[in-house]
Structure 1
Amino acid sequence: MTSIPPTAFALHVPSAELVPDPLDPAQIVSGSPEVSALVLTGSATGESGIWQITPGVATDVEADEVFVVLSGRATVVVDGGPVLELGPGDCGVLRAGDRTTWTVHETLRKLYTVTY
């Protein structure tokens, strides 16, 4: 994933150019979801950035994450946990080890912070 240089900056998040970050084909359940991202800050303990996924269904194993959906819609099923209906303005929290299934209805873009 591409990172922005470690200097002060401002960025219009909805139109930020993201870099393809292909899913492992084993994660794709149906459709042809494509992921792209841009890391804004990062260190040995975590990172913050912009992440986007196009429509389809994919699985993931999560890290500790807080995010805000900027655009798009998705349903995220956490194995053994809640079903998250996500849309613009929604904040989500995922825990390390959560096994999730993302059903993306409309291309979803989020601003996230992950801790390792």
Structure 2
Amino acid sequence: MPAGAGLPAGVPLQPDGLVLEHEPVTGSAVASGTPATGLCELGRFGGLELGVWEMTEGGMYDTEAEEVFLVLSGSATVEFLDEDGTVTSVHDLVPHTLMRFAAGTPTRWTVTSPLRKVYLALPA
């Protein structure tokens, strides 16, 4: 399924078989290594965006959207940061981890095995 093709009704999709085009993380968003991310929006439901997101090994800083996600594969650590960059909490992400982000939350991701998640988010 090409990126942005949407999720057809009544047709099963195996998210681990979905090929995503990756773009390198650049500039001040890079925390370590040479991470890249890929995204495929599958559709919108009740005003929420449904999609699959993936990150390769490495580290990056991000500011999160209002989102709930389920890790499908890979492993990572996500650190929640306060305004000055101090770590407030650390969470390991592995397959079957379910997590929610509040909009505007600053984070640092460290991916040790390519991480893939399916998410529902309020559009930015």
Indicate the residue corresponding to 1:10 in structure 2.
Answer: 12
**Residues 73-116 of structure 1: CA deviation (Å, up to 9, x unaligned):** 11100114421111011101111000000011111000011114
Selected match of 2:40 from 21, 24, 38: 38
Matches of 2:118 and 2:41 in 1, distance apart? 10
Cα distance change, pair 106–114 in 1 and its aligned pair in 2 (3 A): same
Aligned amino acid, residue 18 of structure 1: L
What's the % identity of the aligned pairs?
34
TM-score, normalising length from structure 2? 0.83
Distance in 1 (alpha carbons) for counterparts of 2:48 and 2:23: 18
* Candidates 63, 83, 98, aligned match of 2:105: 98
Per-residue CA shift, 1:7-26, capped at 9, x if unaligned?
A: 41321111111122443432
Are 1:22 and 1:36, in contact at CA under 8 Å, matched by a contact in 2? no
Task: Return the offset for 1:49.
Answer: 0.6
From 96, 121, 124, the equivalent of 1:114 is 121
The 5 Å alignment of 1:35-114 reads: 35-42=37-44, 45-80=47-82, 81-114=88-121
Judged with a 3 Å threshold, the aligned counterparts in structure 2 of structure 1 residues 5 and 58 are, in CA distance, closer, same or farther, namely: closer
Alpha-carbon RMSD = 2.1
| Separation in structure 2 between the aligned mates of residue 78 and residue 21 of structure 1, nearest angstrom | 24
Q: Which runs of 5+ in 2 are unaligned?
A: 83-87
> Take 1:75 and 1:5, find their aligned partners in 2: how far apart are those partners?
29
TM-score (norm 1): 0.88
Task: Output the amino acid matched with 2:114.
Answer: T
Look up the equivalent residue of 2:92 and give its one-letter code.
E
2 CA distance for matches of 1:10 and 1:96? Answer: 30
Of the two, which has the highest radius of gyration? 2
Runs of 4+ off more than 2 Å: 19-26, 42-46
3-state SS, counterpart of residue 28 of structure 2:
helix
SS of the residue 1:82 aligns to: strand
Aligned length: 116
